[in-house]
Structure 1
Protein backbone atom coordinates (compact mmCIF):
# COMPACT_ATOMS: atom_id res chain seq x y z
CA UNK A 1 0.00 0.00 0.00
CA UNK A 2 1.20 3.53 -0.83
CA UNK A 3 1.68 5.58 2.32
CA UNK A 4 2.11 9.32 2.63
CA UNK A 5 5.80 8.85 3.47
CA UNK A 6 6.39 6.72 0.36
CA UNK A 7 4.54 9.28 -1.78
CA UNK A 8 6.74 12.06 -0.37
CA UNK A 9 9.93 10.13 -1.17
CA UNK A 10 8.65 9.37 -4.68
CA UNK A 11 7.84 13.06 -5.31
CA UNK A 12 11.25 14.06 -3.95
CA UNK A 13 13.00 11.64 -6.34
CA UNK A 14 10.89 12.86 -9.27
CA UNK A 15 11.76 16.48 -8.46
CA UNK A 16 15.46 15.62 -8.25
CA UNK A 17 15.31 13.80 -11.59
CA UNK A 18 13.52 16.74 -13.24
CA UNK A 19 16.11 19.15 -11.84
CA UNK A 20 18.98 17.01 -13.23
CA UNK A 21 17.27 16.78 -16.64
CA UNK A 22 16.80 20.56 -16.71
CA UNK A 23 20.42 21.14 -15.65
CA UNK A 24 21.65 18.94 -18.50
CA UNK A 25 19.64 21.04 -20.98
CA UNK A 26 21.16 24.25 -19.59
CA UNK A 27 24.66 22.78 -19.88
CA UNK A 28 24.00 21.90 -23.52
CA UNK A 29 22.80 25.46 -24.17
CA UNK A 30 25.95 26.87 -22.50
CA UNK A 31 28.08 24.59 -24.68
CA UNK A 32 26.34 25.83 -27.84
CA UNK A 33 26.89 29.46 -26.84
CA UNK A 34 30.58 28.84 -26.10
CA UNK A 35 31.02 27.13 -29.48
CA UNK A 36 29.44 30.13 -31.24
CA UNK A 37 31.62 32.57 -29.31
CA UNK A 38 34.83 30.63 -30.02
CA UNK A 39 33.98 30.38 -33.72
CA UNK A 40 33.37 34.14 -33.84
CA UNK A 41 36.76 34.86 -32.23
CA UNK A 42 38.52 32.26 -34.40
CA UNK A 43 39.74 30.17 -31.45
CA UNK A 44 39.25 26.44 -30.94
CA UNK A 45 37.17 25.06 -28.08
CA UNK A 46 39.08 22.16 -26.55
CA UNK A 47 37.41 18.87 -25.61
CA UNK A 48 34.02 20.18 -26.83
CA UNK A 49 32.97 20.44 -23.21
CA UNK A 50 31.87 22.82 -20.48
CA UNK A 51 31.98 21.82 -16.82
CA UNK A 52 29.79 23.21 -14.04
CA UNK A 53 32.04 25.12 -11.67
CA UNK A 54 29.48 26.45 -9.22
CA UNK A 55 25.94 27.63 -8.69
CA UNK A 56 25.95 31.05 -7.07
CA UNK A 57 24.14 34.34 -6.83
CA UNK A 58 25.44 36.96 -9.25
CA UNK A 59 24.29 40.40 -10.28
CA UNK A 60 22.58 40.79 -13.64
CA UNK A 61 22.65 43.85 -15.92
CA UNK A 62 20.00 45.56 -13.76
CA UNK A 63 22.00 45.04 -10.56
CA UNK A 64 19.66 42.42 -9.09
CA UNK A 65 21.09 39.25 -7.59
CA UNK A 66 19.96 36.14 -9.45
CA UNK A 67 20.78 32.47 -9.32
CA UNK A 68 23.57 31.84 -11.83
CA UNK A 69 25.44 28.81 -13.10
CA UNK A 70 29.13 29.27 -13.88
CA UNK A 71 30.72 26.81 -16.32
CA UNK A 72 34.43 26.39 -17.12
CA UNK A 73 35.91 25.50 -20.50
CA UNK A 74 39.29 25.57 -22.23
CA UNK A 75 40.28 26.93 -25.61
CA UNK A 76 43.40 27.26 -27.74
CA UNK A 77 44.66 29.60 -30.40
CA UNK A 78 47.84 27.88 -31.56
CA UNK A 79 47.01 24.30 -30.64
CA UNK A 80 49.91 24.19 -28.19
CA UNK A 81 48.62 26.07 -25.14
CA UNK A 82 45.39 25.71 -23.21
CA UNK A 83 43.64 28.85 -21.96
CA UNK A 84 40.74 28.88 -19.49
CA UNK A 85 37.39 30.53 -19.99
CA UNK A 86 34.09 30.83 -18.13
CA UNK A 87 30.48 31.33 -19.10
CA UNK A 88 27.87 32.60 -16.65
CA UNK A 89 24.25 31.69 -17.32
CA UNK A 90 21.06 33.03 -15.74
CA UNK A 91 18.76 30.13 -16.51
CA UNK A 92 18.80 29.74 -20.29
CA UNK A 93 20.21 33.23 -20.88
CA UNK A 94 23.90 33.98 -21.27
CA UNK A 95 25.11 36.67 -18.90
CA UNK A 96 28.85 36.74 -19.55
CA UNK A 97 31.54 34.86 -21.45
CA UNK A 98 35.09 35.53 -20.27
CA UNK A 99 38.26 34.31 -21.95
CA UNK A 100 41.70 34.48 -20.38
CA UNK A 101 44.22 36.69 -22.21
CA UNK A 102 45.64 34.87 -25.20
CA UNK A 103 48.07 35.67 -28.02
CA UNK A 104 46.63 36.49 -31.40
CA UNK A 105 47.92 37.61 -34.76
CA UNK A 106 46.96 40.97 -36.18
CA UNK A 107 45.76 40.24 -39.65
CA UNK A 108 46.63 43.03 -42.03
CA UNK A 109 44.92 43.18 -45.38
CA UNK A 110 47.13 42.50 -48.40
CA UNK A 111 48.44 45.64 -50.08
CA UNK A 112 46.22 46.78 -52.90
CA UNK A 113 47.33 47.99 -56.31
CA UNK A 114 45.93 51.46 -55.56
CA UNK A 115 48.52 52.34 -52.92
CA UNK A 116 50.26 55.61 -53.73
CA UNK A 117 53.32 56.84 -51.91
CA UNK A 118 52.99 60.23 -50.25
CA UNK A 119 55.97 61.76 -52.07
CA UNK A 120 54.52 60.75 -55.43
CA UNK A 121 51.14 62.21 -54.50
CA UNK A 122 52.69 65.52 -53.44
CA UNK A 123 54.63 65.81 -56.70
CA UNK A 124 51.51 65.25 -58.77
CA UNK A 125 49.43 67.76 -56.83
CA UNK A 126 52.14 70.41 -56.69
CA UNK A 127 52.37 70.34 -60.53
CA UNK A 128 48.79 71.40 -60.89
CA UNK A 129 49.05 74.24 -58.37
CA UNK A 130 51.88 75.95 -60.27
Structure 2
Protein backbone atom coordinates (compact mmCIF):
# COMPACT_ATOMS: atom_id res chain seq x y z
CA UNK A 1 0.00 0.00 0.00
CA UNK A 2 1.34 3.41 -0.97
CA UNK A 3 0.53 6.35 1.30
CA UNK A 4 1.24 10.02 0.65
CA UNK A 5 1.43 12.36 3.65
CA UNK A 6 1.38 16.08 2.86
CA UNK A 7 2.26 18.30 5.83
CA UNK A 8 4.33 21.48 5.86
CA UNK A 9 5.37 21.22 9.52
CA UNK A 10 8.48 19.02 9.62
CA UNK A 11 7.82 17.77 13.18
CA UNK A 12 4.19 16.89 12.37
CA UNK A 13 5.28 15.18 9.15
CA UNK A 14 7.83 12.98 10.92
CA UNK A 15 5.36 12.20 13.69
CA UNK A 16 2.66 11.16 11.22
CA UNK A 17 5.15 9.07 9.24
CA UNK A 18 6.16 7.14 12.37
CA UNK A 19 2.52 6.51 13.27
CA UNK A 20 1.69 5.36 9.75
CA UNK A 21 4.66 2.97 9.78
CA UNK A 22 3.44 1.57 13.09
CA UNK A 23 -0.10 1.29 11.71
CA UNK A 24 1.08 -0.66 8.67
CA UNK A 25 2.90 -3.13 10.88
CA UNK A 26 4.07 -6.13 8.89
CA UNK A 27 2.19 -5.10 5.75
CA UNK A 28 4.45 -3.87 3.01
CA UNK A 29 3.99 -0.28 2.06
CA UNK A 30 5.68 2.83 0.84
CA UNK A 31 5.23 6.07 2.68
CA UNK A 32 5.83 9.18 0.62
CA UNK A 33 6.11 12.61 2.23
CA UNK A 34 5.72 16.10 0.81
CA UNK A 35 5.55 19.55 2.33
CA UNK A 36 3.81 21.36 -0.53
CA UNK A 37 1.45 20.82 -3.44
CA UNK A 38 4.07 20.72 -6.21
CA UNK A 39 6.10 18.02 -4.43
CA UNK A 40 2.93 16.04 -3.68
CA UNK A 41 1.79 16.30 -7.29
CA UNK A 42 5.15 15.01 -8.58
CA UNK A 43 4.86 12.01 -6.26
CA UNK A 44 1.30 10.98 -7.14
CA UNK A 45 1.93 11.47 -10.85
CA UNK A 46 5.00 9.20 -10.75
CA UNK A 47 3.89 6.55 -8.25
CA UNK A 48 0.45 5.04 -7.62
CA UNK A 49 -0.93 6.22 -4.28
CA UNK A 50 -3.58 4.23 -2.41
CA UNK A 51 -4.24 6.62 0.46
CA UNK A 52 -3.68 10.35 0.93
CA UNK A 53 -3.26 12.19 4.26
CA UNK A 54 -3.38 15.95 3.77
CA UNK A 55 -3.01 18.93 6.05
CA UNK A 56 -5.23 21.88 5.09
CA UNK A 57 -2.68 24.60 5.79
CA UNK A 58 0.36 24.12 3.59
CA UNK A 59 2.04 27.49 3.93
CA UNK A 60 0.30 29.70 1.39
CA UNK A 61 -1.35 26.68 -0.24
CA UNK A 62 -4.42 24.65 0.71
CA UNK A 63 -4.69 20.92 1.19
CA UNK A 64 -8.30 21.23 0.05
CA UNK A 65 -7.08 22.56 -3.29
CA UNK A 66 -4.75 19.57 -3.45
CA UNK A 67 -7.66 17.21 -2.64
CA UNK A 68 -9.60 18.74 -5.53
CA UNK A 69 -6.58 18.29 -7.83
CA UNK A 70 -6.28 14.66 -6.78
CA UNK A 71 -9.97 13.95 -7.42
CA UNK A 72 -9.78 15.74 -10.78
CA UNK A 73 -7.01 13.38 -11.89
CA UNK A 74 -8.55 10.45 -13.77
CA UNK A 75 -6.47 7.88 -11.89
CA UNK A 76 -7.60 9.23 -8.52
CA UNK A 77 -11.26 10.13 -9.08
CA UNK A 78 -12.26 7.81 -6.23
CA UNK A 79 -9.12 8.28 -4.14
CA UNK A 80 -9.33 7.79 -0.40
CA UNK A 81 -8.30 11.08 1.24
CA UNK A 82 -8.04 12.05 4.90
CA UNK A 83 -7.75 15.66 5.97
CA UNK A 84 -5.84 16.37 9.16
CA UNK A 85 -6.20 19.94 10.36
CA UNK A 86 -6.43 22.26 13.33
CA UNK A 87 -9.12 24.19 11.44
CA UNK A 88 -12.39 22.46 12.38
CA UNK A 89 -14.31 25.11 10.43
CA UNK A 90 -13.20 23.41 7.19
CA UNK A 91 -14.64 20.01 8.06
CA UNK A 92 -17.83 20.38 5.99
CA UNK A 93 -15.94 21.76 3.01
CA UNK A 94 -13.44 18.90 3.25
CA UNK A 95 -15.95 16.09 3.53
CA UNK A 96 -18.71 17.47 1.31
CA UNK A 97 -17.21 19.78 -1.31
CA UNK A 98 -13.79 18.16 -1.65
CA UNK A 99 -15.13 14.61 -1.13
CA UNK A 100 -12.55 13.69 1.49
CA UNK A 101 -13.46 10.57 3.44
CA UNK A 102 -12.22 11.55 6.88
CA UNK A 103 -11.52 14.74 8.80
CA UNK A 104 -9.26 14.47 11.84
CA UNK A 105 -8.84 17.52 14.02
CA UNK A 106 -5.46 18.49 15.43
CA UNK A 107 -4.21 17.86 17.95
CA UNK A 108 -4.89 14.30 16.92
CA UNK A 109 -4.40 11.27 19.09
CA UNK A 110 -2.09 8.46 18.05
CA UNK A 111 -5.01 6.02 18.29
CA UNK A 112 -6.94 8.06 15.70
CA UNK A 113 -4.09 7.85 13.21
CA UNK A 114 -3.54 4.13 13.82
CA UNK A 115 -7.28 3.48 13.32
CA UNK A 116 -7.26 5.58 10.15
CA UNK A 117 -4.32 3.64 8.70
CA UNK A 118 -5.94 0.35 9.71
CA UNK A 119 -9.18 1.26 7.90
CA UNK A 120 -7.22 2.36 4.81
CA UNK A 121 -5.24 -0.88 4.87
CA UNK A 122 -8.40 -2.99 5.13
CA UNK A 123 -9.94 -1.04 2.24
CA UNK A 124 -6.79 -1.54 0.18
CA UNK A 125 -6.61 -5.29 0.90
CA UNK A 126 -10.26 -5.71 -0.04
CA UNK A 127 -9.54 -4.18 -3.46
CA UNK A 128 -6.69 -6.55 -4.35
Instruction: Give the TM-score normalised by structure 1.
Output: 0.30
The higher radius of gyration belongs to 1
Flag the structure with higher strand content.
1
Flag the structure with higher helix content.
2
Highest RCO, 1 vs 2 (Cα 8 Å, sep ≥ 6): 2
Instruction: Give the TM-score normalised by structure 2.
Output: 0.30
